[in-house]
DNA sequence: TCTGGGGTCCTAGGACCC
DNA sequence: TCTGGGGTCCTAGGACCC
């Protein structure tokens, strides 16, 4: 039976939440991200700001240069957005039981066979948008198609507040005129390669000589790309995805050479990662150290443990040993952090198999939001003092 | 001139094993 | 002196996405 997949994407999510919460900011260019004048980037910005060419991942200094004086700059309140996101996902449960949350502001829903219960795809889509608006007062863009790729591209097709349905027999006509950068996995490096081959649109990729793509992208990359160009993609919606890693890193406001600061920062990261691991019942057998020096030169070092752990001290000791075993002392460090991977047990599901949700103690939840808020408070504000020893 | 943070997935070489 | 062909795990780096 053919599937119907819906993709939902909140419009300028962080910025929209801020404008909703602060009506005096609506209609104005608004940037959620680092503090102006400091190291960092734009996380999200309002549509008013986008008109000045500002976008996600742009250096905050560049955004300041482009925006008028009345622009608003706020730092992210991740805990708050996470709570809004939770209510959105809850609202989507009323549309379909098969909801896959893919990020804080995006979800896939399997909406196959809802036509007899609800109506045609357009009606299902409008219901989803209404459910979100009723729950949190925000707009979302919705795309519906025969698989994840088409649903995702459909949701991007008319933004903001869009609704696009692509029936199976319209897939190729929908895809063909799109720029090839619309395809998943084509980014800053791959797009120029394809452009140099004279390819611009999805249709160009679809009709390209497979051997030519093979030569420049490798066998797997080439077939993945051409599958997409033909509208071939997964239609599976997974409700119980399991994370594969936990990590914590920070960029210092000024590059750091002081060993105590690096050590303390790694200790902080280990505590954050360890706490998250324990809260989620995970133990990792691999610790990864990440370091970025002045000039953006980035390295990772990892080691496998004899036994999986979620202990702050053990995670810290491994990461610190990895740092010490390299001849890196005295090199100015821009960023440092660590990660934990390699769970010992295969994927404990988010909710258990019998539908009994694990009751989450209030104190843990509070601690989680505290943590998220402390992260957002620090966003783009890393300082030498950051690593100040924290009482366990 | 700058370039966050949290992720996923892929590649590629070497070790190791059968 | 010459030495296969997988398969899997480990490690480092990098592309990409939100």
Q: Give the model confidence (pLDDT) of A73-125 as tens digits.
A: 999 999 999 999 999 999 999 999 999 999 999 999 999 999 999 999 999 99
Q: Is A140 helix (H, G, I), strand (E, B) or coil?
A: strand
A302 beta carbon to strand C: under 7 Å: yes
Distance, Å, A339 CA → C11 C1':
15
> Could you identify the residue written with the tokens 């819906």?
A6
Question: In this model, does residue A357 exceed pLDDT 70?
Answer: no
Nearest DNA or RNA nucleotide to A189 (CA to C1'): C15
Q: Which residues contact A184 (CB under 8 A, 6 or more apart)?
A: A149, A152, A228
A290 closest-nt by C1' vs CA: C12
Cα angle: A89, vertex A151, A213; to 5 degrees: 130
A304 touches strand C (CB under 7 A): yes
Q: What is the mean pLDDT of residues A295-312?
A: 96
Rounded to 5 degrees, φ, ψ at A158 are -130, 100
Structure token pair of residue A150: 């088409």
Residues of A marked as catalytic: 106
Distance of A38 CA from B1 C1′ (whole Å): 13
Please tell me the predicted confidence (pLDDT) of residue A380: 33
Whether A202 has a pLDDT exceeding 80, the answer reads yes
Q: Which of residues 325-344 of A touch strand B (CB under 7 A)?
A: 334-335, 337, 339
Q: Measuring CA to CA, how many Å separate A82 from each of A17, A88, A89, A104?
A: 11, 10, 10, 7
Flag whether pLDDT at A127 surpasses 50: yes
More confident residue, A23 or A381: A23
- The gap between A307 CA and B16 C1' (Å) is 21
Residue nearest C10 (alpha carbon to C1'):
A304
Q: Which of residues 105-124 of A touch strand B (CB under 7 A)?
A: none
- Separation of alpha carbons A58 and A36, rounded Å: 12
Which residues, in sequence order, are bridge partners of residue A286? A304, A341
Q: Measuring from the CA of residue A104 to each C1', which nucleotide is nearest?
A: C18
Mind spelling out the 3-state secondary structure of A244-266? CEEEEEEEEEEEECCHHHHHHHH
A287: pLDDT strictly greater than 50: yes
Residues 152-211/A with CB within 7 Å of nucleic chain B are none
Average per-residue pLDDT for chain A: 89
Give the pLDDT score at A387. 32
**Tokens (6 digits) for A38:** 């400091």
Q: Can you give the pLDDT at residue A345?
A: 58
Mean pLDDT of A264-274: 98
- Cα angle value A332/A335/A340 (rounded, 5°): 130
Report how far residue A348's alpha carbon sits from residue A354's, in angstroms, rounded to the nearest whole number.
Answer: 13
Provide mean pLDDT across the span A236-251. Answer: 96
User: CB of residue A248 closer than 7 A to nucleic acid strand B?
Assistant: yes
Residue A375 confidence (pLDDT) above 50: no
User: Which residue's CA is nearest to the C1' of nucleotide C18?
Assistant: A103
Residues 6 or more apart from A53 whose CB is under 8 A from it?
A66
Checking if the pLDDT of A356 tops 60, the result is no
CA A221 to C1' C4, whole Å: 29
Protein CA at A105 to nucleotide C1' at B7, angstroms: 14
Query: How far apart, in Å, do the first and last CA atoms of chain A sit?
Result: 55
pLDDT of residue A346: 52
Rounded CA separation A242/A145 (Å): 25
A286 touches strand C (CB under 7 A): yes
Chain C nucleotides covered by protein, CB below 7 Å: 10-18
Predicted confidence (pLDDT) at residue A225 exceeds the cutoff of 60? yes
pLDDT score, position A1? 79
Q: Mean pLDDT throughout A204-213? A: 95
Instruction: Give strand letter and number of the nucleotide nearest A103 (CA to C1').
Output: C18
What local confidence, expressed as pLDDT, does residue A266 receive?
A: 98
Amino acid A23 CA to nucleotide B9 C1' distance, rounded Å: 41
């Amino acid at each position: 039976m053919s599937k119907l997949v819906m993709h939902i994407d909140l419009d300028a999510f962080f910025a929209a939440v801020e404008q909703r919460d602060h009506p005096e900011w609506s209609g104005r260019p608004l940037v959620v991200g680092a503090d102006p004048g400091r190291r960092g980037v734009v996380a999200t910005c309002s549509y008013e700001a986008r008109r000045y060419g500002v976008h996600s991942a742009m250096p905050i200094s560049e955004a300041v240069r482009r925006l008028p004086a009345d622009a608003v700059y706020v730092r992210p309140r991740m805990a708050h957005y996470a709570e809004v996101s939770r209510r959105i996902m809850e609202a989507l449960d009323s549309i379909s039981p098969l909801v896959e949350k893919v990020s804080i502001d995006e979800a896939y829903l399997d909406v196959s066979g809802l036509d007899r219960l609800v109506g045609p795809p357009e009606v299902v889509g409008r219901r989803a948008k209404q459910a979100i608006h009723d729950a949190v007062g925000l707009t979302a863009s919705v795309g519906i198609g025969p698989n994840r790729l088409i649903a995702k591209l459909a949701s991007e097709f008319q933004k903001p507040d869009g609704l696009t349905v692509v029936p199976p027999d319209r897939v190729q006509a929908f895809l063909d005129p799109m720029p090839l950068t619309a395809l998943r996995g084509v980014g800053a490096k791959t797009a120029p390669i394809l452009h140099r081959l004279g390819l611009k649109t999805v249709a160009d990729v679809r009709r390209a000589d497979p051997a030519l793509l093979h030569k420049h992208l490798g066998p797997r990359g080439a077939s993945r790309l051409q599958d997409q160009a033909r509208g071939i993609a997964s239609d599976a919606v997974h409700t119980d995805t399991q994370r594969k890693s936990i990590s914590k890193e920070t960029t210092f406001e000024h590059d750091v050479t002081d060993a105590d600061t690096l050590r303390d920062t790694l200790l902080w990261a280990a505590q954050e990662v360890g706490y998250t691991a324990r809260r989620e019942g995970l133990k990792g057998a691999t610790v990864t150290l990440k370091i970025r020096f002045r000039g953006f030169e980035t390295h990772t070092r990892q080691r496998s443990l004899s036994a999986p752990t979620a202990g702050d001290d053990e995670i810290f000791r491994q990461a610190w040993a990895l740092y010490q075993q390299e001849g890196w002392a005295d090199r100015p460090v821009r960023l440092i952090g660590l990660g934990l991977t390699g769970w010992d047990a295969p994927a404990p599901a988010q909710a258990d198999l019998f539908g009994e949700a694990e009751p989450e103690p209030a104190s843990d939840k509070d601690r989680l939001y505290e943590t998220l808020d402390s992260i957002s408070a620090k966003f783009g504000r890393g300082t030498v003092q950051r690593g100040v020893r924290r009482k366990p």
